[in-house]
Amino acid sequence: MLPTPPRSVAQHVRIVALGASAGGLEPLEQFLAQVPIRSGLAYLVVQHMDPTHKAMLSDLLQRTTEMPVREATESQPIEPDAVYVIPPNAELTVKNGAIHLAVPSQPRGRRMPIDVLFSSLARELGDRAIGVVLSGMGSDGTLGLRAIKSQGGLTVAQAPESAQFDSMPKSAIAAGCVDIVTQPSTMPQSILSVTFERPRSMPGADGVDDLDAAPLAAILNLLHAHSKHDLRQYKTSTLLRRIDRRMAVHELATMVAYVAFLRENPQELDLLFKEMLIGVTSFFRDGSVWQDLKDSMLPPLLTRHRGVAGSLRAWVVGCSTGEEAYTLAMLYTEAVEHLPVSQRLPLQIFATDLSADAIAVARAGLYPASIARDVEPERLGRFFHHKSSGYLINQGIRDMVRFAQHDVILDPPFTRLDILCCRNLMIYFDAALQQRLIPLFHYSLRPGGVLLLGGSETVGRAQAMFKPLHPKTRLYWRIDNGPATKMAVFPTPRRPTARSATLETPVAHLNTASANLQSLADQALLQAFSPPAVLVNDSGDVLYLNGRTGVYLEPAAGKANWNIHVMARPGIRAQLAVALRTALKDKKPVELRGLRLDDETPKIIDITVQPILQPAGIAGMALIVFRDVVAPIRGRRHKASGVVDTAVGDDLIRSREEVRALRQDMQASQEELQAANEELQSINEELQSANEELTTSKEEAQSMNEELQTVNGELQSKLDDLALAQSDMQNLLNSIDIATLFLDNGLNVRRFTEQIASVFHLREADIGRPLSELATTLIYPELHTDVKETLRTLMFSEKEITTADGHWFSVRIMPYRTQANVIQGAVITFVDITSAKELESRLRNV
C-alpha cells in the first residue's frame, strides 16, 4: 500500500474523475485497491450503464477499498477519501463542491456521460481537475480530457495493451491530451506524486527561489530555442507551477535534474511548451459582458458605419480553442438580424493564438455535448449541428472567423479594427508587458473602436486612450488623441539583427520625460503632418510603422508574415515590389503615382520608395511613404473616327445572332442541368437521411453493447460470489454430519445432504419428487402432516422418532426463510440420537 500523503487544507476537495465503459470493472477495482485510505482526494466513477438495470457497481467496488463507496445523489456534498458512483440513467456534474444529477438529454447511443463529467470538472476546478480514462469502446472521455488539459489539469489514460477494450484509451492518447499513460494499479502513485507539490524555499526579490533562478532561466532559454517563442515575460508563478507539474509527472525532485532531462529528451520541450499555454475559455463566459456589448456598444458601432462600404473587423487575441471568437460571431449575428438587409454590415473576425493545437481545434469547430450548459437551447439549435461526438458550429458562423497562429508579444498586430477582444490573457503576463500591449491595442483599433478585457484586467495607466462603458465593466471605447499615433515598433520575425537595437533609440528619446522643447515640438509636428510610412529592410521585412498604415497594408491570414510583399494591398503589391527592388539597386528614390488600392476601393494614392544611405545604423534599408491624392477626373471619351464598313456591320449582326442562339442553347442546357441537379440533390438527401438513420442505429447498438458488457461483468462477479457462497454452504452442511432435507412450498425435494442416506434412500434424480412418495426407514406416518402444519403456523416442531431397525432420530421441522423474509418451503433435520437413547435406557435399568 502507498504511504499516506499529507492532508490537503485547500478550500475545495480535489477530485479524481474515473471514466470507464465495457471491461471497466477490473481496472476500477485495480485502481481503488491501490488508493491510500486517507489520500485527501475524492473519487467520482462514471461507467456506461443500462438505464433500466439496477446498478451493482457500488457493492462490487466496496470490496476492493476501505473508503466508503456511495451511489451519487442530487446535491450530495463531495467529501475527501470517498468514492461516488453514478446511478443508472443519469448525467453527473459538479458545481460548488456538490454533485448534481440530470436525466440525459440525448438518446441512447449518443450519450457521453464521461465527457459531461470531465468538462464539468474542468469548469469547476480548473487546473485542480484530474481525469482518468479506463477500458471502453468508442471515444467518450476524449473531449472531456481535452477540456481538463486546456485548463491545466492532470489527464491519465490506461495503457491500451492492459485494457480489455482499448478504444477509449487509444482515442484519448491519439488526441494528444493525456499526461500519463500507465497501468490502473500504478495510477494512484502517479496522481498523488503530481497532486501534492514539492515545498519551495523562500523566494527572492524576483519571485524565484535562489536555487531555482538559474535552472528556470536555462529552461526558458531551451524553450525559446526550441519553439522560437519567448516566455520570459510570463508571470514567474505561472511558469514555476507548470514546470512543477511536468517534474512531478517524471518524478524529478529538482529543477536542475529537469534541465538535464530536457536536454536529453527534446520531445519533452514540446510537452512543456504546450503546458505553458493556458487555454481557459468557454462560450458566453461572463454573460453580462457579452449582453452589454450587444445592447450598448454594437448599435452605436453599426450606426457610425451606416452607408459605408466594406465590413467591420474584429480581432480575438489568445482565442484558445475558439469559443470566444464564435461567441462574438453569434452575438453579432443576433444584433444585426433586426436591421434592414442593406444595413447589415458583414463582420470579419481574426482569431489568433500561440498554440497550434488550440487553433486546430478551433478551426474544426467541434465541441463536447457539455457546452449545452453554457449555450442556451435556442442558440444551440440555431448555430450548431448536433453530432454523435458533440456540437459542430454551423458553416455560416465558421465563415465569419479566420484562425491563425500568432504571437501577440513578438508579431505586429492586425489593424483597422472595430472590435478587439483580449480577455483573461494579460493576467498571465508581467506588468511591463501589460503596459506595452494596451497602447498596441489602441494603435490597432479605429477611432471609436471597442476593446474587451477580462474581469481581472484593466487599461492601467492608459486612461487617456480608452473610456470605459461604465465604471464596473471591462468594455472600453477607443479615444482618438495624440498618444495613439506614436510610431509602433515591431521586431523583424525572420532576420533579427543589431539594427533593431539601433532603431529603438529615437523612439525612446521621443518618449522620455526630460526631452527639450525642440524635441517635443518635432514630435508634435511628426505626429500631425508626417504621412503614413513604413521602414523595411532589404528583404522587405517591416521594422517600423509610422502613422495609420492599415489602409495600405494588412497582415495576411494564416501564419504571421510581416513582410511588405505579403502585407501590401493587391492593387499596389506588384508595382511596390518592383519599385523597392529598383530603389535599393539604384540607390535612388522611386515614385509611383496614381495607383488604385484595389477594385473595391476608389482611393488613389502615390507611393515614394526612398533608399536610406545614412546613418550607417540603418543604411541599406528603405522608407516607403504613402500619400492619398484626389482621384483624377475621368478623361473624355474620344469619338471614333471613320465610317464603319457595311460588311463589317453585317458580320457584327450575324455574330450577335449567333451569340444569342448560343445563349439560348446554353440556357436550355443549364435548365436541363438544373433539373438533373435537383434530382441528384433529392436522391442525395434521401441517401443522407438513410445514412443518418443507420448511423443512429449503429450508435444505439454500440451503446447497448457497451451497457450489456458492463452488466455482464457485474453479473459475472455476482455469479462468482454466489458460486463461492454455495460451496461454503455445501462444505458447512457436509462438515456438521447432520442429515438435512430441503423442501419447496409444494413439499417437493429441493436439496439434501449426503447424510440423508441413513433416513431416506435418495439420489440426484429424486430432486423434485414429492415428500409423500419417498421411502423412509422412519416410523413417522404423520411427517407429511407435520410439515404442512409448520408451513401454516410458521412454528418449528421437534420430535424423537425411531426407525424400523431400532435407531432413534431427533426430527426438527423449520420454515425456509429467504433474506427477504419470504417462506419458500421447509427444512427438516435428522439428528441421530441412538447412543443417547441407549445410555438413557441403561441408566433407567440401573
Say whether 229 is catalytic: no
CA distance 298 to 301: 5
CA distance 230 to 199: 27
Task: Say if strands 69-71 and 83-85 run parallel, antiparallel, or are unpaired.
Answer: parallel
Measuring CA to CA, which residue among 546, 517, 542, 609 is closest to residue 572?
609
Which is the catalytic residue, given 21, 39, 120, 139? Answer: 21
Residue type, 205: A
CA distance 621 to 623: 7
CB distance 393 to 347 below 8 Å = no
Element spanning 70, H or E: strand 69-71
CA distance 90 to 50: 11
Question: Longest Cα pair distance anywhere in the chain, in angstroms?
Answer: 166
CB distance 309 to 602 below 8 Å = no
Which is the catalytic residue, given 50, 81, 140, 166? Answer: 140
CA distance 274 to 245: 12
Which is the catalytic residue, given 39, 48, 190, 193? Answer: 48
Cα distances from 229 to residues 47, 222, 427, 436, 772, in angstroms, run 42, 10, 18, 17, 93
- Take residue 533 and report the three cell numbers written for it: 510610412
Measuring CA to CA, which residue among 589, 591, 597 is closest to residue 628?
597
- Take residue 365 and report the three cell numbers written for it: 469547430
Other C-beta atoms within 10 Å of 771: how many? 19
Question: Residue 729: what are its φ and ψ, rounded to 5°?
Answer: -65, -40
- Take residue 290 and report the three cell numbers written for it: 457579452
Say whether 171 is catalytic: no
Say whether 140 is catalytic: yes
- Take residue 164 and report the three cell numbers written for it: 480489455
Residue type, 535: L
- Using omega within 30 degrees of 0 as the cis cutoff, is the peptide bond preceding 615 cis? yes
Measuring CA to CA, which residue among 170, 150, 151, 158 is closest to residue 133?
158
Measuring CA to CA, which residue among 536, 484, 534, 489 is closest to residue 509?
489
Active site residues: 21, 48, 140
